[in-house]
Structure 1
């Protein structure tokens, strides 16, 4: 049918044919159960929603390790019945009525009498010729179950455990029993109960009659009172009725320990003795009482010193084998300081304390220990045992830097004690007086040399009394940084181009703070300080730059550097102020050198002057050769004119030189030269230009080159041949006068040095817009000075300085 009630027989499967030795039978569907004879029963109401219901019967032989399955398919009967009815409706067939015998019933274990008549029928009939008109009738005899099997427990002994102080209702375990009689009958309806409890105290556990579950009943299970319980339990069929069959079993329940008992000392006071200065010796053992299970964390003792051990002289540990507390001295005691020590020790457990129900909180157990210190004859003692002495490096030899003495503990004084060192103190540069203990330097201490390289050293000192007993102490000599090094400028030679980019001077000092940075820089020469300045950059560097326009040349500038400790380092900074764009273009070979206001000439400068004089002599000879004997040529070639241009480092006259000081020379040549007028005199300075010749200039009351040659005074205008003058005549005339003119040009009206006489200029990479020398530009066409346009751009830039602005 499509619906089945619970405990309904569905059918039977042949288990023996599948597995003869099966000892475990189970169903894959919990809605069905399989009995040992193969009967299939429903365990709950089942409704078939699909056409077919399938499940499997699992058979196992646990000994032979064999497993097999039987697949069961249940088909709804409703469809088959419907087809049968449809067939009956279609074809009507009459069937003879026949007698069906009623099944017989008998009870197992019947006592007879035997043979026992169950029922009597006519089983089948035949015709005389042997024809059987009826099919055989089947007579079913059903054997009803008799309660002939007592239930039995699945285990001979059940063992469980539970924590002490567990709350009522906590499940301890479950007992199980079975019955071989017919399932789901009174013969297999089992009931459990506790028959007895050992020890026979207040019942501590309950047993559920239907499920066999054992639970805590007594709220105060105490392992320290009862460590285990033994229960005699009974299982009875027939729902526990007195006429049912029963069996008994044994259950052992162990009570597990919790830390519900605090440890306590056996004694509240202890006394012990120890000699002074003894270290790492055992002086006392203490023991405790703990009711918890021995060897468990609940009874393991943990000791501590809670009072009287501020200097950490004592230590207490636990002996794991005996659970005792072992008190030791770990730092030497001093009889003179304290003749006895009183300690307070406490004890706890390894596991945290768990308060039992309805119990009060226990206080921590403590005990006092009095330690008597015994006096001993001791050696000298340094106070302190470790002395630090700070000393500055570079101290004078023989400087006293400290004193290190020891005392006799019995007398409290230092009489009769002398001092020695383990190693020679000369390695460290100090000496300790053997009588007074005074520490002095025997050499200049340096942090960077020898044993003091790390800035400190440790010296072990021995103090020896009259009895030969010794005491040991340590002196730590720490060398503090001193101001032993002068600050120095790392680079002293520089090249400054015409852009006058400031020079960065950097100094360094090997000393440590506070004897190094910040540095102070200063120019020592007053005259150079008026034309050069120093600008601060950071703590160890400055910028050096000129204040105004200065001539090109080499300057030696004295610069002092002072460190933070006051030590001064003197340096000369060599600056080559060069007419260049980049320093690589400058030939640092022989320009004039300016230092301290004095002008000196270098080797290359002197060589240049000699070569210049020779070149000038060559020019004069060439000019004279061009003029001829007794005849003055009126023109000079361009080449001659170009060779007459002599390179000079004087780029411009001072601002005081005005245009009216430059006048044309009166001469008999085709084109006149230019001279310099100063006051009421005229002297010859230089003649340059195409077709120029050397001639004299009439000066009022002064001797000219012509007068020198002719021997005349200053009357009329003499006739002279300038091309016939010798080099000596030229030199004797020009040298003193050119020197005087140069000297006057460098002074102002108050005879002071003119600061802007030497002017600087920049080269932008192309020719000057003036196109020629500025002071001659107004007579360019008239005096044929166009050859100057072919000169280098630097010379044109120099010419601009002559232009009145």
Structure 2
């Protein structure tokens, strides 16, 4: 306490001593006959002085000593004297009155109007208000007439060390990577002091660490905190509490201080390798486990955290590298062993794997500390399971000719029980794949036989499913697809690809191609189709037409001469024999109908009817249609007229004895009937070439109609 009081007195008297040293030179610079304001340093001008003296006195108002000082936080039994106003016009007769106005006049500062003494009547706080601007004036006591112009001066509140440093943003938190080198910067903290930073050392702060050594240090003036120990290990200790002190007065004794806390957290770096919890792992798995199933998990622990603890797992050696795989679980940070190929207890009963765990993110600063990986051994025991039958092939392809005999064997499937205690197998056909029941299978040996005839032209492929079932355990079944291909035999004769009808122009030329035809065969020979075309033996010397085989397996029909006449013969029928190249070959006869037509000069067919041929040349087809329509209309009108007349004249009721039906058939008995017709063929008279053109006889009907077949 005595030290504190001595420091306060020192702070109080230091500015006064400075003022005492500087004040006399300033005073002696003014003429001795001027009025002076003692202690305030601000002159009050006399009204009786000359103008030059007034100007000189006004210029002195800006001097440093025109300020008064008052100590803050002063509290005593009496108001504290700040200063005194005085003028040479005051002979002590008490005729001059001093007036004070401005900041705090009358409330904080009070003036003795007779003596001019100014007192502070309240306790002042520099941090609340540092200075006050006041105006002093001397007036005549009786008349209140100003004796000189008002003079302005300042009262400054002198600071004392009454505020301790404060950490406004505390408590603080900071991080620094573990294993950092000595002197690594962590953070910096700043305290504030409300005292005057210009005057004295009240706001001069010095920082120190009260708690947190020897791990951290602090620079006294900048408050930068650094690591004081190298290679601090997060895995040993992750968090540190540091207590920081800020002390004013430059850290000297008697200064005020404030403290705060800083929590420093060491962040992780990858400075630790993964380590398996055990060196040997044992797992067992049934042989019928589904592919992709997890067999077991292995885990390598890492003292690091976050991505620094992430490890990847691999199988690096062992006799099961082709059957098993290991994947990394990023969430659990362990390795999952899965099955990638089927197991067989009867083939191999156990496997040994060597697995490795390695860090994903390697910090090159610590790579020299050794490999960041670890290995462990995994033994997997295969357990026996009741497995379903296994076919000798995953699929079967059988071939059978379409003319195969019923009940003939077309193929065989085989299956076995892979278990040690082998069970007999029974075979069956899944009838959902053979709805027409075209095939049968021997339940004991798996031979497939034909149940119904096959026709390749109806269906080339038959896909069925064969089921193999263990006799001892009917729940153990297997299925296999069987594709049956029906092979072709030459059982279809070739024929025209479509119904052809050829048109021959009357004005055609010899050797002109009348029609090109092609053939088709429902069979499918291995070497493709090759057709042979020929005419009937009796048609080889046909005087009208000939045929020519084309390279594209088609046939062209050509006219042998010109001058065909549709009035003479309208239609020709040309039988053509088509043979295939099968073994044995098959053939059929297809007839091409050739119509004789009237054509234009450029060979465009215009009409193929005989009736159109005898029409008048001057009438067009449109005119003929119009004439025909008129005739039909007239006939309809006549029929309607006759019908109406008949209904008008005849009674509505028909007598029972009338026979309204009448059938009249008239025969011409003078003729010879069919025999006479056979004896006299009018076609022979019309076409002398009919014999060579293979023309059958005409036959006359009972009603006089005529039909003709011509070749």
Indicate the TM-score class for this superposition, using the shorter chain for normalisation: 0.5 to 0.7
Secondary structure class of the residue paired with 1:359? helix
Alignment match of 2:152 (pick from 138, 148, 153) = 138
Query: What is the CA–CA distance in structure 1 between the aligned matches of 2:193 and 2:575, rounded to whole Å?
Result: 124
2:300 aligned with 1:292, yes or no? no
Query: What is the CA–CA distance in structure 1 between the aligned matches of 2:584 and 2:251, rounded to whole Å?
Result: 114
How many residues end up aligned between the 2 structures?
495
The C-alpha deviation readout for 1:41-71, integer Å capped at 9, x for no partner, is: xxxxxxxxxxxxxxxxxxxxxxxxxxxxxxx
Contact 2:358-2:372 within 8 A present in 1 as well: no
Residues 638-653 of structure 1 correspond to what in structure 2 (within 5 A)? none
Which residue number corresponds to residue 120 of structure 1? 84
Secondary structure class of the residue paired with 1:154? coil
Query: What is the CA–CA distance in structure 1 between the aligned matches of 2:584 and 2:178, rounded to whole Å?
Result: 84
Residues 412-423 of structure 1 correspond to what in structure 2 (within 5 A)? 417-423=425-431
Which residue number corresponds to residue 380 of structure 2? 371
Task: Using the TM superposition, give the Cα deviation of residue 432 of structure 1 relative to its aligned residue in structure 2, in angstroms.
Answer: 1.8
Residues 346 and 96 (structure 1), Cα distance of their counterparts in 2 relative to 1, 3 Å cut: closer
Secondary structure class of the residue paired with 1:179? coil
Secondary structure class of the residue paired with 2:395? strand
Which residue number corresponds to residue 789 of structure 1? none
Contact 2:172-2:262 within 8 A present in 1 as well: yes
Which residue number corresponds to residue 178 of structure 1? 192
Alignment match of 1:105 (pick from 39, 54, 69) = 69
2:565 aligned with 1:556, yes or no? no
Query: What is the CA–CA distance in structure 1 between the aligned matches of 2:605 and 2:558, rounded to whole Å?
Result: 21
Residues 105 and 378 (structure 1), Cα distance of their counterparts in 2 relative to 1, 3 Å cut: closer
Alignment match of 1:461 (pick from 467, 478, 494) = 467
Q: TM-score normalized by structure 1? A: 0.50
Residues 558 and 180 (structure 1), Cα distance of their counterparts in 2 relative to 1, 3 Å cut: same
Task: Using the TM superposition, give the Cα deviation of residue 190 of structure 1 relative to its aligned residue in structure 2, in angstroms.
Answer: 4.1
Query: What is the CA–CA distance in structure 1 between the aligned matches of 2:472 and 2:392, rounded to whole Å?
Result: 19
Alignment match of 1:401 (pick from 410, 418, 422) = 410
Which residue number corresponds to residue 228 of structure 1? 239
Alignment match of 2:257 (pick from 231, 246, 253) = 246
2:162 aligned with 1:151, yes or no? no
Q: Mean alpha-carbon deviation: is it higher for 325-334 or for 361-370?
A: 325-334
Residues 257 and 311 (structure 1), Cα distance of their counterparts in 2 relative to 1, 3 Å cut: closer
Compare relative contact order (CA 8 Å, sep 6+) and give the higher one, 1 or 2. 2
Contact 2:596-2:608 within 8 A present in 1 as well: no
Residues 739 and 107 (structure 1), Cα distance of their counterparts in 2 relative to 1, 3 Å cut: closer
Residues 236 and 291 (structure 1), Cα distance of their counterparts in 2 relative to 1, 3 Å cut: same
Query: What is the CA–CA distance in structure 2 between the aligned matches of 1:305 and 1:128, rounded to whole Å?
Result: 115
Query: What is the CA–CA distance in structure 2 between the aligned matches of 1:564 and 1:238, rounded to whole Å?
Result: 124
2:452 aligned with 1:440, yes or no? no
Task: Using the TM superposition, give the Cα deviation of residue 181 of structure 1 relative to its aligned residue in structure 2, in angstroms.
Answer: 1.8
Contact 2:202-2:249 within 8 A present in 1 as well: yes
The C-alpha deviation readout for 1:557-591, integer Å capped at 9, x for no partner, is: 6263859999877544434354413665131669x
Contact 2:415-2:468 within 8 A present in 1 as well: no
- RMSD over aligned Cα atoms: 5.0
Secondary structure class of the residue paired with 1:96? helix
Residues 444 and 189 (structure 1), Cα distance of their counterparts in 2 relative to 1, 3 Å cut: farther
Which residue number corresponds to residue 576 of structure 1? 595
Contact 1:389-1:476 within 8 A present in 2 as well: yes
Query: What is the CA–CA distance in structure 1 between the aligned matches of 2:171 and 2:256, rounded to whole Å?
Result: 20
Task: Using the TM superposition, give the Cα deviation of residue 547 of structure 1 relative to its aligned residue in structure 2, in angstroms.
Answer: 7.7
Query: What is the CA–CA distance in structure 1 between the aligned matches of 2:412 and 2:303, rounded to whole Å?
Result: 62
2:498 aligned with 1:490, yes or no? yes
Task: Using the TM superposition, give the Cα deviation of residue 251 of structure 1 relative to its aligned residue in structure 2, in angstroms.
Answer: 1.0
Query: What is the CA–CA distance in structure 1 between the aligned matches of 2:317 and 2:403, rounded to whole Å?
Result: 49
Which residue number corresponds to residue 345 of structure 2? 335
Query: What is the CA–CA distance in structure 2 between the aligned matches of 1:445 and 1:284, rounded to whole Å?
Result: 55
Q: Mean alpha-carbon deviation: is it higher for 438-447 or for 277-286?
A: 277-286
Q: Mean alpha-carbon deviation: is it higher for 477-486 or for 116-125?
A: 477-486
Task: Using the TM superposition, give the Cα deviation of residue 157 of structure 1 relative to its aligned residue in structure 2, in angstroms.
Answer: 1.2
Query: What is the CA–CA distance in structure 1 between the aligned matches of 2:276 and 2:300, rounded to whole Å?
Result: 4
Residues 114 and 382 (structure 1), Cα distance of their counterparts in 2 relative to 1, 3 Å cut: same
Secondary structure class of the residue paired with 1:152? coil
Which residue number corresponds to residue 175 of structure 2? 161
Residues 285 and 112 (structure 1), Cα distance of their counterparts in 2 relative to 1, 3 Å cut: same
Query: What is the CA–CA distance in structure 2 between the aligned matches of 1:395 and 1:148, rounded to whole Å?
Result: 123
2:231 aligned with 1:267, yes or no? no
Task: Using the TM superposition, give the Cα deviation of residue 152 of structure 1 relative to its aligned residue in structure 2, in angstroms.
Answer: 0.9
Query: What is the CA–CA distance in structure 1 between the aligned matches of 2:610 and 2:353, rounded to whole Å?
Result: 91
Secondary structure class of the residue paired with 1:117? strand
Query: What is the CA–CA distance in structure 1 between the aligned matches of 2:363 and 2:144, rounded to whole Å?
Result: 95
Contact 1:257-1:292 within 8 A present in 2 as well: yes
Contact 1:403-1:438 within 8 A present in 2 as well: yes
2:608 aligned with 1:587, yes or no? yes
Which residue number corresponds to residue 663 of structure 2? none
The C-alpha deviation readout for 1:11-55, integer Å capped at 9, x for no partner, is: xxxxxxxxxxxxxxxxxxxxxxxxxxxxxxxxxxxxxxxxxxxxx
Stretches of structure 1 lacking an aligned partner (at least 5 in a row): 1-91, 591-603, 612-731, 747-752, 754-805
Residues 95 and 444 (structure 1), Cα distance of their counterparts in 2 relative to 1, 3 Å cut: farther
Residues 476 and 221 (structure 1), Cα distance of their counterparts in 2 relative to 1, 3 Å cut: farther
Which residue number corresponds to residue 54 of structure 2? 96
Residues 277 and 300 (structure 1), Cα distance of their counterparts in 2 relative to 1, 3 Å cut: same
Secondary structure class of the residue paired with 2:140? coil
The C-alpha deviation readout for 1:385-444, integer Å capped at 9, x for no partner, is: x23224257361444333212234367989x54433453757452222122212233234
Residues 737 and 456 (structure 1), Cα distance of their counterparts in 2 relative to 1, 3 Å cut: closer
Residues 396 and 226 (structure 1), Cα distance of their counterparts in 2 relative to 1, 3 Å cut: same
Residues 587 and 377 (structure 1), Cα distance of their counterparts in 2 relative to 1, 3 Å cut: closer
Contact 1:420-1:462 within 8 A present in 2 as well: yes
Contact 1:555-1:577 within 8 A present in 2 as well: no
Task: Using the TM superposition, give the Cα deviation of residue 113 of structure 1 relative to its aligned residue in structure 2, in angstroms.
Answer: 8.7
Which residue number corresponds to residue 431 of structure 1? 440
Residues 68-83 of structure 1 correspond to what in structure 2 (within 5 A)? none
The C-alpha deviation readout for 1:136-165, integer Å capped at 9, x for no partner, is: 333422122223222211133111234445
Residues 153 and 738 (structure 1), Cα distance of their counterparts in 2 relative to 1, 3 Å cut: closer
Contact 1:423-1:460 within 8 A present in 2 as well: no
Query: What is the CA–CA distance in structure 2 between the aligned matches of 1:530 and 1:167, rounded to whole Å?
Result: 113
Query: What is the CA–CA distance in structure 1 between the aligned matches of 2:76 and 2:239, rounded to whole Å?
Result: 53
Residues 507 and 96 (structure 1), Cα distance of their counterparts in 2 relative to 1, 3 Å cut: farther
2:509 aligned with 1:472, yes or no? no
Contact 1:387-1:404 within 8 A present in 2 as well: no
Query: What is the CA–CA distance in structure 2 between the aligned matches of 1:565 and 1:120, rounded to whole Å?
Result: 150
Contact 2:320-2:353 within 8 A present in 1 as well: no
The C-alpha deviation readout for 1:598-650, integer Å capped at 9, x for no partner, is: xxxxxx9xxx9xx9xxxxxxxxxxxxxxxxxxxxxxxxxxxxxxxxxxxxxxx
Query: What is the CA–CA distance in structure 1 between the aligned matches of 2:372 and 2:495, rounded to whole Å?
Result: 73
Q: Mean alpha-carbon deviation: is it higher for 134-143 or for 324-333?
A: 324-333
Query: What is the CA–CA distance in structure 1 between the aligned matches of 2:256 and 2:379, rounded to whole Å?
Result: 73
Which residue number corresponds to residue 651 of structure 2? none
Task: Using the TM superposition, give the Cα deviation of residue 320 of structure 1 relative to its aligned residue in structure 2, in angstroms.
Answer: 8.5
Residues 271 and 311 (structure 1), Cα distance of their counterparts in 2 relative to 1, 3 Å cut: closer
Residues 195 and 402 (structure 1), Cα distance of their counterparts in 2 relative to 1, 3 Å cut: farther
Query: What is the CA–CA distance in structure 2 between the aligned matches of 1:356 and 1:566, rounded to whole Å?
Result: 89
Task: Using the TM superposition, give the Cα deviation of residue 282 of structure 1 relative to its aligned residue in structure 2, in angstroms.
Answer: 7.1
Residues 142 and 409 (structure 1), Cα distance of their counterparts in 2 relative to 1, 3 Å cut: closer
Stretches of structure 2 lacking an aligned partner (at least 5 in a row): 1-49, 87-97, 99-137, 565-570, 615-679, 694-711
Task: Using the TM superposition, give the Cα deviation of residue 466 of structure 1 relative to its aligned residue in structure 2, in angstroms.
Answer: 6.2
